Amino acid sequence: MIGAMLHINGKPTVHFSCKSNLDRPSHLPPKPTAVKMTTTTTITTTPPPTILQPYWASLQADIEAHLKHVMPYKDPLVVFEPMHHLVFSAPRTTVPALCLAACELLSGHRRQAMAAASALLLLLAANHTHEQIPLSTKPKPKSKPMMSFRAFTPGIELMTGDGIIPFGFELLSESHDLARDNSDQILRVILEISRAVGSEGLIDAQYKKNLLSRSDGRESCHVERIMEIMEKDEGGLHACGAACGAILGGGNEEEIEKLRKFGFYVGMIQGMVSEGLWEEVEVVRDLAFKELQYFKDNNRDADAISSFIIHV
Amino acid sequence: MIGAMLHINGKPTVHFSCKSNLDRPSHLPPKPTAVKMTTTTTITTTPPPTILQPYWASLQADIEAHLKHVMPYKDPLVVFEPMHHLVFSAPRTTVPALCLAACELLSGHRRQAMAAASALLLLLAANHTHEQIPLSTKPKPKSKPMMSFRAFTPGIELMTGDGIIPFGFELLSESHDLARDNSDQILRVILEISRAVGSEGLIDAQYKKNLLSRSDGRESCHVERIMEIMEKDEGGLHACGAACGAILGGGNEEEIEKLRKFGFYVGMIQGMVSEGLWEEVEVVRDLAFKELQYFKDNNRDADAISSFIIHV
């Protein structure tokens, strides 16, 4: 065990020292000392594992159906056609579905969290779209060269991403339901999401990822840097998704924070798996199950949401 | 008079037929039949006219001071330094200040609308930042060549813009004040702003502007196209700014819609002035004053906000 779970300001944080493979148990595959970054955001390149399929697929299908309903092909087609294409062609992540799953765990109906899940899907698709724009100063991918085929010009991709982002917030603010008096919940969710995707969240992770991809593995504590990025990327985004679902499912503060931690672990596990950090996965998976135990102890059915924990 | 003001679905819309200069009064400068688009968004290149200075300057100074307070130089500096630079170096517009002015017209305190004004400034700065990113497929500016000096790389500009946008929504959601129970107002403002800057608002205008800049004035109804763009760009954004200020100033529906129309006219006048559409300016200025008359009739002091109507 080379890592230790620390809780700083209430937020779970995984820290790893830069040790060699010497004290690694022999039954585990060798731990990479200098892990190469994948060419695109790891969160968007990790396909949802097979074990998630039944529950995740049901949630994801509902989110996509909802988005097709609220984002019809309409005028101006020159704007909505690329919007459709770029939203639905972006790699799927488990973040939006986890938002619905957290809401359902607390006996909420998934439609209560549908706007938040849709907004998360939109914002991650916009981020992916912008990440793919070829700019001369961006570091070139090493293992996966950029495909030459592009459905739209970089200018359209830039503008479309810029249109998708406010549309996510538009959906959220529209989900205000006078009958349910949920405006405080929605404002809190807008705050959670804007922070998770913003300058201290996903954007910070992407900046650091760009820096790291330039360092070419020469940095002394490369794995630590990767973990820092993962905490705001996969970890932070899944934490946000689960917390938003908990808020909209009517969770109390303890439930919201338990689900935030659970989401963080779910995201970290995905990131660790994609980076081949096998030993750390085992530790974090135990922590994720511990968070779910709280809900089981309170007579909640946590089986469905536990499928978000990847087994390797 | 070559134009006619139409009201479609309650939204004021200016329509112009493609007539020649033949029936233009001799005391007016020749009306351009094919107006050239300026190289960047007209709204961001139009400096606030001198006549606005005292009131506008006071409002703008307060907004910038607020933004410097809520967006300090802090870690990660690599993220916040370009954010600061790009927010405060973007051309100033009258949209955020008009938001505060509308709030004050209704006897609200300008701090009630400060988060909305700040969010508007941030979102327009992000839009300007992204508009300046050099992309090989974007039409080249004709009259004003792109300056070769850039403070940051296009990659940083792209990411920083993507960080500024959610920060605008973060400020809005944070302005939720339990004591004032203003969550419904804030959600309505988030909806207004996300629509105004989104795919059916500013982004649609920019897409059309790009198309128009490629047509090189050959299109038969070039002025009509420019007016359509202006309705979503300068017109739509000022309409949004004024409506948000009215909502946060506690305005009733009639006051909000009157101020929305006033803002629309204020923006259209700015756009028309920058395009040299002098005769149309006179018509729209009269309409703007008519909207303010309603407030004067209801014992509101409309002198300060009337300074937003440009006199030429």
pLDDT, tens digit, for every residue of B270-279? 999 999 998 8
| Site from B127, B164, B177, B183 to mutate, A interface, most A CB atoms within 10 angstroms | B183
Closest-approach residue (CA) in chain B for A208:
B78
Asked whether residue B41 is assigned to any structural domain, the reply reads no
Those of residues 159-188 in B touching chain A at CB distance below 8 A are 159-167, 169-170, 172-174, 176, 183-184, 186-188
Q: Is residue B296 part of a domain?
A: yes
Q: State the Cα–Cα distance between residues B95 and B234, nearest whole angstrom.
A: 9
In chain B, residues 64-83 whose CB comes closer than 8 Å to chain A: 76, 78-80, 83
- Residue A188's CB: how many other CB atoms inside 10 A? 19
Task: Kindly determine whether residue B195 and residue A170, on different chains, have CB atoms separated by under 8 Å.
Answer: yes
β-pairing verdict for B3-8 and A3-8 = unpaired
Residue A9 lies in a domain: no
Q: Which residue has the higher pLDDT, B206 or B4?
A: B206
Number of domain units in chain B: 1
Judged by CB atoms closer than 8 Å, whether chains meet at A199 and B135 is answered as: no
Map residue B16 onto helix, strand or coil.
strand
Tally of CB atoms within 10 A around A288: 22
Q: Which residue of A has its CA nearest to B190?
A: A173
Q: What is the tens place of the pLDDT at every residue in A208-248?
A: 998 888 776 665 668 899 999 999 999 999 999 999 999 99
Containing domain of residue A291, as a range? 49-134+151-306
> What are the structure tokens assigned to A142, written together?
């090493």
- Mean pLDDT, range B137-157, rounded to an integer: 64
ipTM of this predicted structure: 0.83
- Picking from B133, B137, B173, the nearest residue to A194 by CB comes out as B173
CA distances from residue A261 to A107, A173, A196, A237, A268 in whole angstroms, order as listed: 19, 26, 14, 11, 10
Residue B34 lies in a domain: no
Q: Does a structural domain hold residue B156?
A: yes
Q: How far is CA B311 from CA A284, B92, B233, B272, in A?
A: 66, 19, 20, 12
Residues B158/A159, Cβ–Cβ less than 8 Å: no
Residue B167 has its nearest CB partner, among A83, A158, A198, at: A198
Chain B hits for A169, Cβ within 8 Å: 169, 190, 194
- Return the C-alpha torsion angle A261, A263, A265, A268, nearest 10: -130
Which CATH number goes with the domain that contains B121?
1.10.600.10
Q: Is residue B6 part of a domain?
A: no
Reported confidence tier of residue A42, pLDDT bands at 50, 70, 90: very low
User: Which of A42-51, A227-236, B62-71, B262-271 is least confident?
Assistant: A42-51
Whether residues A200 and B79 touch (CB distance < 8 A) is answered with yes
Query: Residue holding tokens 């038969």?
Result: B220
Most confident of A71-80, A127-136, B216-225: A127-136
Say yes or no for a CB contact (<8 Å) between B176 and A187.
yes
pLDDT category at B75 given cuts 50, 70, 90 is confident
Q: Please indicate whether, in this complex, the C-beta atoms of B158 and A206 are within 8 angstroms of each other.
A: no
Distance CA B303, CA A212 (A): 56
In this structure, is residue B14 part of a structural domain?
A: no
What is the rounded CA–CA span in Å between residue A80 and residue A290?
A: 44
φ and ψ at residue B292, rounded to 5 degrees: -70, -30
As a whole number of angstroms, the distance between CA B285 and CA B309 comes to: 7
Residues of A in contact with B128 (CB under 8 A): none
B193 touches chain A (CB under 8 A): yes
- Which is it for strands B3-8 and B11-16: parallel, antiparallel or unpaired? antiparallel
Interface touch A158/B174, C-beta < 8 Å: no
Of A140-144, B152-156, B285-289, the poorest mean pLDDT is in A140-144
Longest dimension (CA), chain B: 62
**A151 confidence band (pLDDT: 50, 70, 90):** confident
Chain A within 8 Å of B210 (Cβ-Cβ)? Answer: yes
Give the whole-angstrom CA distance, residue A117 versus residue A58: 13
Going by the DSSP 8-state scheme, the letter that residue A231 receives in this structure is I
Q: Does some domain include residue B18? A: no
In a 3-state reduction of DSSP, which class is residue B269? helix
User: How close does chain A come to B217, measured CA to CA in Å?
Assistant: 21
Q: What is the mean pLDDT of residues B115-137?
A: 92
pLDDT band at B217; cut points 50, 70, 90: low
